[in-house]
């Protein structure tokens, strides 16, 4: 697999203890030599400082890092200031998103969609940033239809995105279909599958319900049958996800982006299997 498109995602820790744990996680994951680590950004700027602090710490450790940046609930002025700050620290890569505001949280902001954010970043900073955007092989849950969502994805690329990372999924065919259809719309950029290791059944179902990922019936039933037997869940999860990764890479996926959940064990184990 090309290292160019192998990346690992963290969220910014909320406590000093979390930050310490993440340092240990990073030290382990750095041994896998990913191209870069990315750090999520709370919609509305709620983790703005934490995201930047984590990114700068990763860069000081000699690794490449990419902050995520979401536009929902934000003004152009505030996004402009964040871009200037990223630039002043020599950050050259970012993941541009719309984000999701918690219900009841103010207005949508001046940039309604990620495509508008990408357009704004290009207008403000030219080619300074390598921009990744999100893609949804199983459709974004708010989209009108898969076709509509695909058009909206293509719009983000036309606005100037260099590459995309997908929402996680467990149906390899959904990815291959999505990619074929995107190519037909003229999308030529790498679309890197997002990979969610399976380590905890209840957490996985909660996340998947929120983001519109389908857990295939055979996987759900098997995970449910393990009850509280966390070792069996992890062992089965490793088999399922490593096989998914193998299939994706064999089918031409340009790399993998791991949603690490700030843990190293599952991502490392999958990586070792792929070797
Ligand atoms: P968009 O591309 O703007 O799409 C959102 C919805 O609007 C879709 O249904 C789309 O079809 C529709 N749409 C787009 N353009 C138009 C248009 N012109 N007219 C009508 N409809 C349109 N969230 C965070 O808050 N912080 C993060 O750090 C973060 N990181 C993520 C990383 C990855 C790799 C992924 C896949 C998701 C991440 N998310 C993050 C979640 C993401 O913010 C949500 O999925 C959000 O609901 C959509 O963001 P988007 O950038 O895909 O939005």
Domain limits of the chain? 3-274
Strands (E), 47-162: 65-70, 93-97, 130-135
- CATH code, 3-274: 3.20.20.220
Q: Is 20 among the residues known to form the active site?
A: no
Of 44, 48, 69, 97, best ligand 1 pocket probe by most atoms within 8 Å of the beta carbon: 97
Q: How far is the CA of 100 from the centre of ligand 1 (A)?
A: 8
- Count the neighbouring beta carbons within 10 Å of the beta carbon of residue 142: 9
pTM check: above 0.95: yes
Whole-angstrom distance, CA of residue 21 vs CA of residue 27: 10
Residue nearest ligand 1's atom 17 by CA: 152
Is the pLDDT at 105 greater than 90, yes or no? no
The string of pLDDT tens digits covering residues 249-268 is 999 999 999 999 999 999 99
Is the pLDDT at 1 greater than 70, yes or no? no
- 47 in contact with ligand 1, CB cutoff 6 A: no
3-class DSSP state of 140: coil
Residue nearest ligand 1's atom 23 by CA: 99
pLDDT in the model for residue 106: 66
The string of pLDDT tens digits covering residues 6-41 is 999 999 999 999 999 999 999 999 999 999 999 999
């Amino acid at each position: 697999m090309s290292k160019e498109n192998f990346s690992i995602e963290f969220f910014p820790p909320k406590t000093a203890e979390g930050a310490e744990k993440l340092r240990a996680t990073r030290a382990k994951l750095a041994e896998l030599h990913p191209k870069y680590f990315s750090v999520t950004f709370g919609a509305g700027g709620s983790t703005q400082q934490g995201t930047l602090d984590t990114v700068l710490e990763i860069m000081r450790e000699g690794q490449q890092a990419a902050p995520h940046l979401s536009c929902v609930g934000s003004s152009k002025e505030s996004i402009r200031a964040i871009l200037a700050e990223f630039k002043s620290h020599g950050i050259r890569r970012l993941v541009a998103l719309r984000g999701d505001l918690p219900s009841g949280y103010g207005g949508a902001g001046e940039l309604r969609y990620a495509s508008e954010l990408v357009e704004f970043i290009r207008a403000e900073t030219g080619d300074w940033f390598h921009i990744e955007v999100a893609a949804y092989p199983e459709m974004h849950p708010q989209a009108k239809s898969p076709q509509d969502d695909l058009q909206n994805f293509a719009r983000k690329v036309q606005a100037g995105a260099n590459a995309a990372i997908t929402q996680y999924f467990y149906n390899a065919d959904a990815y291959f279909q999505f990619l074929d259809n995107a190519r037909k719309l003229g999308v030529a950029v790498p679309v890197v599958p997002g990979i969610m290791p399976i380590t905890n059944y209840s957490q996985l179902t909660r996340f998947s319900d929120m983001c519109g990922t389908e857990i295939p019936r055979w996987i759900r039933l098997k995970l449910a049958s393990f009850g509280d037997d966390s070792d069996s869940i992890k062992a089965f999860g490793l088999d399922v996800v490593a096989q998914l990764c193998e299939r994706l890479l064999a089918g031409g996926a340009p790399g993998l982006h791991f949603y690490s959940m700030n843990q190293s064990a599952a991502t490392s184990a999958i990586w070792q299997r792929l070797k």
